[in-house]
Structure 1
Amino acid sequence: MYKAIVIVNAEVRETGKIIAASPATEQMVAALKRAIASSSPSRVSVEVVANAALRNPANFERQHPLAEDDKLIYLPLTIDVPENLDFPAKEVFQACKEIKKRRQWVEQKLGYATSYGEEWLGDLWLPIVLTAKGPLYGEVIGEGATPNFYEQPVDFSDRQRQPLYHLAHQLLSSLSSPPAVYLLQFRLRGEEIVFDRLWPFPAAPALASLKVQQPNLFVCQWYCAIGHPILDLTILPHN
């Protein structure tokens, strides 16, 4: 049996109810819970935990003991994971928090333009589902007309996609990234790709995939966590 610990940057009551969280965080948690329930409802217990509660991992594990046959899986939905928490994506999360270093690496090693400070911040996201057999690239997600609203797919030509895929592949390879869903945040300056940052989990823009992509990015995150194969990402036809 799996025990899934969903980590959020919010306050969480003992009942598991999230308080003082953004609407996007609540939607992300709900989407991930649905993904887990639809995939393996009888084999998983899910607990939502505030990132602050994991600052002392040993104490947390004492208070939340595992059954003998349980396998613990941490599923962060925030970049702010305590540095002393030991989980497979620990080093990737720490690297992705170092935004300036990642931008410098992309600029110096790959020759792409990058955001600078608060200038040229990304308003587009490339989903990458990194499976054990390699990456699957989703359709680009863009900002909608209202704040915290996202749309998928954004139309991209093959000529635009190839350098974007190259950037994503090289960046993930440099970080020895484990299987998971990643969002590469960028913008276009004319036809030029401007790299902003990498998110090592299905952040808020992934919500755009819920009614558009099969499997959606939250299902993909769970499949990656348990090693379930993902063969393809499909955009569903409009009704």
Structure 2
Amino acid sequence: MEKVIIIVNAEVTTAGTITLASPATNTMVTALKRAISANSPTTLVEVMAAASAWSKAFTLRESHEHPIYCPLTIDLPYQLPFPGQKIYQACKNIQGQRHWVEETLGYKTSMADTWLGDLWLPIILTPSKTLYGEVIGEGIVPNSYYQPINLPQKVYKSLHFLGDQLLKSLEAVPSVYLLQFRLLETEIVFDRLWPFPAAPAIASLGHPQGDLFAHYWNCISQQPRLNQVRSRKSVEA
């Protein structure tokens, strides 16, 4: 039986449930579990706190188990053996990524806590092509998000170019990515890239064709296992 481990930055009970202190994380986990169950009903799903991920991964490796890791947090131990490890570490280096975008692509970027992004572009990277979702905005209530946000066509074109160049620079593996940014009138200010459907992806729930957690599972489940990882081929723009 195939096993999936969902890793979260939250406290997880012994029963595998998220504490009430993390409602957004709980919504994300529920959505991902639903997607896994719908497409892979025999798959065993376990939820794990990031703090215990490394010790658990070592135990699984010793027992010759090879689960599929589905992180819902950027805070992963660097020793965790999964295909997206290099990308997660790169995305954690926010200042380094901003510097690369500014110096290489010429976009404005957030500076420390200034010009932080309040918009997110979903990028669905499949094994054969790149798809772009509707831009997500932030609501007034904490952890509330909505989509779509209507933007000028030239902004979309520039966002798609930025996303494509970022993924190519990272040699990204199939997944759902969120490009966080803000706008100064119509000028893009890059903040950071999330290599998984972070909390803003909650806005996509209820949209059968746009459920980012379902797309995430479809992408992750098609990824090669760690010992089968090859260099990423170019994808369609």
Task: Please say whether Structure 1 and Structure 2 have the same fold, judged by a TM-score greater than 0.5.
Answer: yes
The secondary structure found in structure 2 opposite 1:52 is helix
Distance 1:108 1:94 in 2: 20
SS at 2:86 equivalent: helix
2:212 to 202, 208, 217: 217
In the TM superposition, residue 213 of structure 1 has moved relative to its aligned partner by 5.2
TM-score (norm 2): 0.89
Per-residue CA distance 1:171-204 (angstroms, 9 max, x = gap): 0100001000000000000110000000000000
Residue 13 of structure 2 corresponds to 13
Distance 1:170 1:179, change over 3 A: same
**Alignment TM-score, normalising by the size of structure 1:** 0.89
Alignment partner of 1:195 out of 183, 186, 190: 190
What CA distance in whole angstroms lies between the structure 2 residues aligned with 1:85 and 1:46?
18
Partner of 1:41: 41
Indicate the residue corresponding to 2:59 in structure 1.
60
Misfit runs of 4+, over 6 Å: 62-65
Q: What does residue 135 of structure 1 align with?
A: 130
Map of 1:29 onto structure 2: 29
Among candidates 80, 83, 89, match of residue 88 of structure 1: 83
Shift of 1:20: 6.2
How far apart are the structure 1 equivalents of 2:63 and 2:148? 41
Identity percentage over the alignment? 55
- Residues 3, 44 of structure 2: 8 Å contact kept: yes
Q: How does 1:173-188 map to 2 (within 5 A)?
A: 173-188=168-183
Cα pair distance change 1:61/1:115, threshold 3 Å: same
CA contact (8 A) 1:126 1:139 kept: yes
Shift of residue 14, structure 1, vs aligned partner: 2.4
Cα contact 2:137–2:147 (8 A) shared by 1: yes
> What is the root-mean-square deviation of aligned Cα atoms in Å?
1.7
How far is the alpha carbon of 1:145 from its aligned partner? 2.5
More off after superposition, 11-20 vs 118-127 = 11-20
Q: State the distance in 1 between where 2:143 and 2:155 align.
A: 25
Contact 2:57 2:80 in 1 (8 A): no
Q: Specify whether residues 214 and 58 from structure 1 end up closer, same or farther in structure 2 by C-alpha distance, changes over 3 A only.
A: closer
Are the counterparts in 2 of residues 57 and 84 from structure 1 also a CA contact under 8 Å?
no
Cα drift, residue 54 of structure 1: 1.6
Distance 1:79 1:145 in 2: 24
Distance of aligned partners of 1:217 and 1:58 in 2 relative to their CA distance in 1, 3 Å threshold:
closer
Partner Cα separation in structure 1 for residue 15 and residue 30 of structure 2 = 15
Q: Distance in 2 between matches of 1:225 and 1:59?
A: 21
Runs of 5+ consecutive residues of structure 2 not aligned to the other structure:
224-237
- Comparing 21-30 and 180-189, the one that deviates more: 21-30
Aligned-partner Cα distance in 1 for 2:21–2:183: 31
Determine which structure has the larger strand proportion and give its number.
1
